[in-house]
Amino acid sequence: MLQLNFREQGQGRPLVILHGLFGTLDNWQTLARQWAAHFRVILVDLRNHGRSPHAAEHTYALMAEDVRGLFDQLQLPADTTLLGHSMGGKVAMRFALDHPERVRQIVVVDIAPRFSDMEHQDDVIEGLNALNFAGIDNRQQADDALARHIRQPDVRQFLLKNLYRREDNSFAWRINLPVLTAGVAALGEEITAAAPFLKPALFIRGGKSDYVNAEDKLHGIPALFPNSQVETIVDAGHWVHAEKPQEVFELVTAFVNQ
């Protein structure tokens, strides 16, 4: 179990937020500031990401145990809401199924419990690993180098949030890239459980995203989360919270307050 880096703001009922693959707690900072007027918001860096420790293994079971350690450390009450996006959403599901008594409800953003082939990350991983920091003096050069592998500017900007300068002024990745590269296939694993999570669960999907499909809505999600609702934000892709923050803010706020 690793001691995770986190940032806390606001007061009231706790809302814990977990980012996705290659993300950091900063990805949710804008929404966290809004929610902090209503709740005690705790943004978390998952293992091998952001400023949290690096480790040789990267699985949902281990990430869920890291989160349990954070709940223990902060002595979070049983009325805590746990929210996760993508990889963080699967961590939230795993945690809720393993420790249903620790949360009041969960929010899962644009991910389903089913197995997913992780080949869609191949270009990203290739681009991240291909970046030769010896020839990089600034972020624009890093962006230009990534563009050979990743065409979408918004995806590159998201990934470049992981870039930082070391004490000798050279650039490096904050993420544990070797471990994430080696373990990415495991992040596609199906989330299963002996018993379902009976408390409320809100699934938010992007209408332009294929991460949650009709079969997930009809069967996959209700099988594990029978007290769930699936809400679609029509004009959003996978990064729903970045593309449609106000809609996500309103959905989550109403759900937590219900």
Name the packing angle between helices 153-160 and 139-147 (round to 10°): 130
Among 86, 209, 228, 241, the one annotated catalytic = 86
Catalytic status, residue 86: yes
DSSP string, 119-162: GGGHHHHHHHHH--GGG--SHHHHHHHHHTT---HHHHHHHHTT
Q: Which of 98, 101, 103 is CA-nearest to residue 83?
A: 103
Bridge partners of 8?
A: 42
DSSP string, 167-200: TTS-EEESS-HHHHHHHGGGGGPPP--SS---S-
Answer positive or negative: Cα dihedral of 177, 179, 184, 187: negative
Among 19, 49, 238, 241, the one annotated catalytic = 238
Q: Which of 83, 79, 82, 84 is CA-nearest to residue 104?
A: 79
Catalytic status, residue 241: no
Which residues are known to be catalytic? 86, 238
